[in-house]
Amino acid sequence: MKLLEERIRKDGKIKGGEVLKVDSFLNHQMDVGLFAEIGKEFKRLYDGCTVTKILTIEASGIGIACVTAQYFNVPVIFAKKNKTKNIAGDVYSSKVESFTHGKVYDIIVAKEFLHPEDKVLLIDDFLANGSALMGLITLVREAGATLVGAGIVIEKAFQPGGALIRDQGVRVESLAKIAAMSETGGVTFCGA
Amino acid sequence: MKLLEERIRKDGKIKGGEVLKVDSFLNHQMDVGLFAEIGKEFKRLYDGCTVTKILTIEASGIGIACVTAQYFNVPVIFAKKNKTKNIAGDVYSSKVESFTHGKVYDIIVAKEFLHPEDKVLLIDDFLANGSALMGLITLVREAGATLVGAGIVIEKAFQPGGALIRDQGVRVESLAKIAAMSETGGVTFCGA
């Protein structure tokens, strides 16, 4: 997606070779106009897949998922990272390793919102090692729902997550795929 | 907002007198069609206030804030609950007490995204004791930005947050104001 690649080149900041900061438009400050274009592109890619639910993970996936869901006309569910008093015991859960925060945490979805008849599209901002996306896939499988695929805004294709998940037969559509990046050389996109 | 009150009556679940579960449409599963109506209503209420930024807090405020921001045509910033490796030291911070989780945590916003010339609208899903909203107000004041007001989806008017914050001269618009609720008697809205 050209618009997104241009925005990453313009406003993305590379820190230490593996961290791409896009917090001016994607995951801290959020450009909802850009999100609308992202949502339309996911709709174009997954049109005709009769998606019934969009599943994402808190926190930075939620905004993109909600704007995208407007084009699919379906509800969004966000997997929660902590079990709170407000969620009853009937949850699907899986484990996610965060390399950014250096810890493993549980993600949960209330069983009442994911059913075997659901066709689920996963949405997230980043795909790198694939841990968050694998956690979401596990939740969908636990529910016995159909996994339509995943819509990712930025994939770090030089990290193993994308290959790992596609090798399982899961459709993964990434709007910007980064082949390589460095503080001196900037970002190189796949196919560029 | 009639549509919202009807939805709360229909799908809200009261637990133990003080907890209103609206996780089937507001803060776990999210009805983005409803969010669009909520966003239009906030736009109607704050039209002409030349809002430049919407500020919310992770996680459940993000979806509502992003859909609302489409009507204002401004970016959303969400205050983060934990300092991560991906955010540099230049942040505004304040403390929030969570009664749901029983702890106090820091919320932060990168200084580069909030400026003295900004006119900020706060958006959140709930207003009860007012701790989260006070935390956001503190961030806006630290930045020297103008606080336009707050847009709240559900206010528990029987808890002190709303009065506390309005007494400071802050404009607070709540789309559903709950005067009282109980497991047996259901929800009573203010003015009903």
10 Å CB burial of residue B50 (0-12, 13-18, 19+) is: exposed
- The answer to whether B132 and B147 have CB atoms below 8 angstroms apart is no
Which of A32, A77, A112 minimises the CB distance to B69? A32
Query: Mutating which of A38, A58, A66, A108 best tests the B interface, going by the most B Cβ atoms within 10 A?
Result: A66
CB atoms within 10 A of CB A49: 15
Q: Please tell me the distance in Å from A67's CA to the nearest CA on chain B.
A: 6
| pLDDT level of residue B123 (50, 70, 90 thresholds) | very high
* Span A142-166, pLDDT tens digits: 999 999 999 999 999 999 999 999 9
Candidates A59, A55, A70; CA nearest to A135 is A55
Parallel/antiparallel/unpaired status of strands A13-15 and A146-156? unpaired
| pLDDT level of residue A103 (50, 70, 90 thresholds) | confident
Searching chain B, which residue's CA lies closest to the CA of residue A71? B32
Residue B83 has what pLDDT? 52
Q: How far is CA B125 from the centre of its chain?
A: 4
Cβ of A101 and B80 within 8 Å?
A: no
Residue B101 has what pLDDT? 72
Q: Is the predicted pLDDT of residue B85 greater than 60, yes or no?
A: no
* Span A32-62, pLDDT tens digits: 999 999 999 999 999 999 999 999 999 999 9
Eight-class DSSP state of A80 = B
| pLDDT level of residue B137 (50, 70, 90 thresholds) | very high
- The answer to whether A127 and A136 have CB atoms below 8 angstroms apart is no
- The answer to whether A119 and A50 have CB atoms below 8 angstroms apart is yes
DSSP symbols for B66-123: HHHHHHHT--EEEEBSS--TTS-S-EEEEEEEETTTTEEEEEEEEGGG--TT-EEEEE
Residue A118 has what pLDDT? 98
Searching chain A, which residue's CA lies closest to the CA of residue B85? A100
Residue A17 has what pLDDT? 72
* Span A71-80, pLDDT tens digits: 999 999 999 9
Q: Can you say whether the dihedral through the CA atoms of B114, B120, B125, B129 is positive or negative? A: positive
* Span B42-82, pLDDT tens digits: 999 999 999 999 999 999 999 999 999 999 999 999 999 87
- The answer to whether B154 and B125 have CB atoms below 8 angstroms apart is yes
Cβ of B75 and A29 within 8 Å?
A: yes
Place of tokens 């802050």: B170
| pLDDT level of residue B88 (50, 70, 90 thresholds) | low
Tokens of A18: 């593996």
Asked if A93 reaches chain B (Cβ–Cβ under 8 Å), the answer is: no
Q: Can you tell me the distance from the alpha carbon of B55 to that of A149, in angstroms, rounded to the nearest whole number?
A: 31
Searching chain A, which residue's CA lies closest to the CA of residue B91? A28
Distances (CA, A) of A8 to A11, A20, A128, A164: 5, 9, 16, 25
Mean pLDDT across B133-156: 98
Q: Can you tell me the distance from the alpha carbon of A28 to that of A23, in angstroms, rounded to the nearest whole number?
A: 5
- The answer to whether A126 and A157 have CB atoms below 8 angstroms apart is no
ipTM (interface predicted TM)? 0.95
Which helix (H) or strand (E) segment holds residue A10: the answer is helix A2-11
